[in-house]
């Protein structure tokens, strides 16, 4: 006998949980650098347009599919397609994707936990040294950190939707917002910080190229957790009184706002550290920026606030990003948890035990692929380079499969479930939806240009990642 379906107890709880899934490492670090390297304010304008014109309809559709079926991706696709094997496979891909994303995200979260421990124990100078990061990622203590992070995730998820995910979101998200504001206020008091602010927000339209446009669209799509099955799963936990379009809009605004404020933290800090910095020389990797570049910036603060003060600021920052990582990781893992509970009739405890064992083994493989074990470090090769196990998981499931999942969703809701059914579901809890311009735009965009654009992103990503080819000139 199945347990009663769980629900979020409040609209704010759902919005904070959904925002927590979207706000992650990419928002806090990747977005500011991408913006700085791609035209500053011009990138921000394009990003915002893409969020609301392209990503928001996909968000709305995912939430609607989840609420209508009260199931995760596999159950949702099966239910609405009347057990079509093709769409059931699409649902399985929607569950496998977050499961594999959790593997590499767990590695990053463990690293963040390790950096917090090292900074509070007086090792900021070690982390800022040239050899610090390279030695850290080979440390056997990482496995202890993995146990701690897994225990935190298990503690939140085993409590369920209302008492676990929602309560955690109501604590962690306000704390994250408050910490972010404190960090921004502090950074803006540093010398030359305003140069970073100007570079970040003043548009340079001369830098707008097809590559920049593609980058802004990809950043928007990935930033909002689209294609991960999270919003379908979280949509299954909301009631019929929830206004889905308005809730999706609030999640998008929150996510975009956090990314923008993060830019006011990262770029001024970088310019303060090096007034002559060229953002084009910054690493494309959020990982590299967090774990190798930013510790040097924090250590440089010791000339003005002392070593203890610099260590405190660094620990505060790493705790901020750790909170964001935990909220994202909880949301990512909840998708396969929900699948095992809904489709396989497991208890949450059993589902989590299965996932901790399977994903845990894969996480160990990803952890040791940074030089500890040569088999996983040199796992395979493509696009002219050797790739580790971690690289393969990231390239396949985060960079590549997400837009494919988004494409499949658009095709499904427009041509299998049908737009009339989507509109009927979105009218529940929103009496003004039927006949509105929002309804017309959502139906038109999901059935025409959005799937075409997302398919282009998918094809271009496959060409670039696996064949070192650049289609369409970018």
For the chain, the domains span 11-373
Total residues found in the chain within this entry: 474
8 Å CB contact between 137 and 347: no
Give the model's pLDDT for residue 1: 43
* Secondary structure, 3-state, 87-104: HHHHHHHHHHHHHHHHHH
Q: Is the pLDDT confidence value at 473 over 60?
A: no
Supply 42's token pair. 């011009």
Q: Which pairs with CB-CB distance under 8 Å and at least 24 residues apart come from 245-250?
A: 245/60, 245/426, 245/430, 245/433, 245/438, 245/442, 246/430, 247/11, 247/14, 247/15, 247/18, 247/63, 248/56, 248/59, 248/60, 248/63, 249/52, 249/56, 250/15, 250/19
Give the model's pLDDT for residue 3: 57
Report d(CA 150, CA 352) in Å as an integer.
10
* CA within 13 Å, CB half, 331: 33
pLDDT (mean) for 401-414: 94
Torsion angle, alpha carbons of 369, 374, 379, 383, to 10: 90
8 Å CB contact between 137 and 370: yes
Q: Is the pLDDT confidence value at 228 over 60?
A: yes
- Report pLDDT digits (tens) over 69-116: 999 999 999 999 999 999 999 999 999 999 999 999 999 999 999 999
Give the model's pLDDT for residue 79: 96
Report d(CA 455, CA 70) in Å as an integer.
28
Q: Which pairs with CB-CB distance under 8 Å and at least 24 residues apart come from 292-295?
A: 292/133, 294/29, 294/269, 295/115, 295/124, 295/127, 295/128, 295/132
Burial of 205 (0-12, 13-18, 19+ CB in 10 A): exposed
Residue pointed to by tokens 């070192």: 468
Q: Is the pLDDT confidence value at 2 over 60?
A: no
Give the model's pLDDT for residue 411: 97
DSSP state of 203: B
* CA within 13 Å, CB half, 416: 20
Report d(CA 335, CA 332) in Å as an integer.
6
Residue pointed to by tokens 């600021």: 313
- Report pLDDT digits (tens) over 350-385: 999 999 899 999 999 999 999 999 999 999 999 889
- Report pLDDT digits (tens) over 330-340: 999 999 999 99
**Of 78-92, 285-299, 336-350, 433-447, minimum mean pLDDT range:** 285-299
Burial of 262 (0-12, 13-18, 19+ CB in 10 A): buried
- Report pLDDT digits (tens) over 21-55: 988 888 888 788 788 777 777 788 888 889 999 99
8 Å CB contact between 216 and 43: yes
pLDDT (mean) for 299-312: 92
Listed in sequence order, the residues at least 6 apart from 375 whose beta carbon sits closer than 8 Å to its beta carbon are: none
8 Å CB contact between 337 and 355: yes
Q: Is the pLDDT confidence value at 165 over 80?
A: yes
**Strand-pair partners of 381:** 386
CATH number for region 11-373: 1.20.1740
- Tell me what percent of the residues of the chain surpass a pLDDT of 90: 70
The model's confidence at residue 395, banded by pLDDT at 50, 70 and 90, is very high
Q: What is the mean pLDDT of the chain?
A: 91
- Report pLDDT digits (tens) over 172-209: 999 999 999 999 999 999 888 998 888 888 877 777 77
């Amino acid at each position: 006998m199945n347990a009663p379906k769980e629900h979020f107890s409040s609209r704010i709880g759902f919005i904070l949980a959904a925002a927590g899934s979207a706000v992650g490492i990419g928002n806090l670090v990747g977005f500011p650098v991408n913006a700085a390297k791609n035209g500053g304010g011009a990138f921000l304008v394009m990003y915002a347009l893409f969020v609301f014109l392209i990503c928001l309809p996909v968000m709305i559709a995912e939430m609607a599919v989840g609420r209508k079926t009260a199931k995760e991706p596999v159950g949702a696709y099966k239910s609405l397609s009347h057990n079509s094997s093709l769409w059931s496979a699409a649902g399985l891909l929607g569950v496998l994707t977050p499961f594999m994303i959790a593997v590499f995200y767990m590695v990053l979260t463990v690293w963040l936990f390790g950096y917090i421990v090292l900074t509070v124990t007086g090792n900021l100078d070690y982390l800022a040294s040239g050899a610090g990061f390279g030695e850290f990622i080979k440390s056997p203590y990482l496995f202890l950190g993995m146990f701690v992070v897994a225990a935190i995730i298990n503690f939140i998820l085993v409590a369920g939707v209302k008492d676990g995910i929602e309560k955690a979101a109501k604590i962690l998200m306000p704390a994250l917002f408050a910490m972010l504001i404190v960090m921004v206020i502090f950074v803006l008091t540093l010398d030359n910080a305003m140069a970073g602010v100007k570079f970040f927000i003043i548009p340079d339209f001369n830098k707008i190229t097809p590559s920049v446009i593609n980058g802004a669209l990809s950043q928007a799509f990935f930033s909002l957790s689209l294609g991960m099955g999270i919003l379908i799963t979280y949509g299954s936990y909301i009631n019929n009184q929830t206004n889905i379009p308005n809730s999706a809009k609030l999640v998008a605004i929150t996510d975009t706002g956090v990314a923008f404020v993060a830019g006011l933290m990262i770029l001024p800090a970088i310019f303060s550290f090096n007034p002559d910095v060229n953002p084009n020389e910054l690493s494309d990797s959020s990982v590299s920026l967090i774990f190798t570049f930013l510790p040097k910036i924090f250590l440089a603060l010791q000339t003005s606030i002392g070593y203890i003060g610099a260590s405190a600021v660094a620990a505060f920052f790493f705790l901020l990003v750790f909170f964001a990582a935990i909220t994202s990781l909880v949301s990512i893992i909840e998708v396969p948890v929900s699948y095992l509970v809904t489709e396989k009739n497991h208890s949450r405890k059993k589902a989590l035990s299965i996932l901790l064992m399977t994903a845990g083994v894969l996480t160990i493989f990803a952890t040791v692929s940074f030089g500890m074990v040569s088999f996983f470090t040199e796992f395979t090769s493509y696009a002219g380079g050797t790739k580790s196990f971690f690289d393969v998981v990231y390239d396949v499931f985060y960079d590549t499969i997400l837009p494919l999942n988004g494409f499949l969703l658009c095709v499904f809701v427009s041509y299998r479930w049908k737009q009339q059914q989507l509109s009927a579901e979105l009218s529940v809890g929103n009496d003004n939806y039927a006949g509105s311009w929002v309804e017309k735009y959502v139906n038109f965009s999901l059935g025409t240009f959005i799937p075409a654009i997302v398919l282009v992103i998918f094809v271009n990503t496959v060409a670039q990642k696996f064949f070192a080819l650049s289609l369409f000139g970018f």
